[in-house]
Amino acid sequence: MSDSAQPAQPDSPQPPLSPLFGVKHVIAVGAGKGGVGKSTIAVLAAVGLLRKGRRAALLDADVYGPSLPILTGTSDRQLDLDDHGRVLPTIVDGLKLVSIGYLVRPDQAVIWRGPMAQKYVKEFLDRTDWGELDYLFVDLPPGTGDIPLTLAQSIPLTGAVVVCTPQPVALLDAVRALKMYQKLGVQPLGIVENMSYYVCPHCGHRDEIFSHGGAKAAAETLEVPFLGAIPLNIAIRQHGDEGRPFANFTDVDPPVAAALDDFVTRLETAILDQARKRMPLPQLKIT
C-alpha cells in the first residue's frame, strides 16, 4: 500500500495557544462540504446547552456565508464597542452572538483571501467581551481548505464537531474534514448526522430519504463519538427561517425534541470527556 493510501494519523499536538479569558471550552463546528446544516447544528448545540443552564455563545466564522443572524433572528442588529474598544456581542435570550453578518449587508459578497479572513476572526475572538462562558461554538467555513485550516491553528480549541448528512458523498467529505482536524492536533469530539431521517408529523411514518446510519458507522470506524442523528423536519426549517432558535426545543413533535436533547447530551459528554483527558496529572512530591 502506498503512503498516500495509508490512513491519516494524528500529528503532534499544536503548540499551546493563549486561551480566551473567561471561556472554558471553545468548540469548532465544521463540515467537509456546504449544505449539510452546519450552522443549524451550531445553533442547536449552543441553544440546547443554554437551556440546560450553561453559559453559551456563538462566533460566526463562516465569513463567506454568515447565516447565524438569520437563524437567530438578529439580521437587523449591529455590533457595538465599549469604551475600551472591545466588541459587545449581540444577546438573544441569554445567547451571545458575534458575526461578520452584522457588518455587511445581506446581499453583499465578502471577497477575502485566507489571511484577511483569519485576521477578522482572530479580532472577533480576541477583542470581544465574551464574559464568563462555559461553551463558545465557532461556526467554521465548510471544506478543508485554507480558511478552516488556518482558523483551527489559531483558535485554542477543546475539540471539533463534524457535521454531515447520510449520503456517501457527504460522508466522504466529513471523513476528510475529521482527518484534517486530527492532522492539526485538534481532537474530534464526534460526528453528527443531520437530516438523518424524516418522520411524518401526521401519521408518524419514518422515511430514510438520504439513507441512514452512515455517520454512526463512520464514527465507529474512526473511533470517535457518534453525537446523534438529527431528523429532517419542517419545523426546524421554519424556525430557522423565522429566526426562532429556542422553538426547536419546544414547538416541535416529541420525537424531534427527543433527538435534539439526545444530541446536546452526547455533545456535552464528549466535550467534558475530552477536557478531562487534557487535564495534566497531579504532580506527587516525595520528600
More confident residue, 282 or 204: 204
Separation between Cα atoms, residue 177 and residue 174, nearest integer Å:
5
**Reported confidence tier of residue 186, pLDDT bands at 50, 70, 90:** confident
pLDDT tens-place string over residues 109-126:
666 666 777 777 778 888
- For residue 191, give the nearest of 232, 159, 236 by alpha carbon: 159
Q: Which pLDDT does position 143 carry in this prediction? A: 75
Specify the residue for cell string 463540515: 31
Q: Which pLDDT does position 72 carry in this prediction? A: 96
DSSP state for residue 145 in the 8-state scheme: S
pTM value is 0.86
Cell of 196: 438523518
Average pLDDT, the chain: 84
| DSSP assignments along 35-47, one per residue | SS-HHHHHHHHHH
Separation between Cα atoms, residue 203 and residue 157, nearest integer Å:
43
In CATH, the architecture of 25-275 is 3-Layer(aba) Sandwich (3.40)
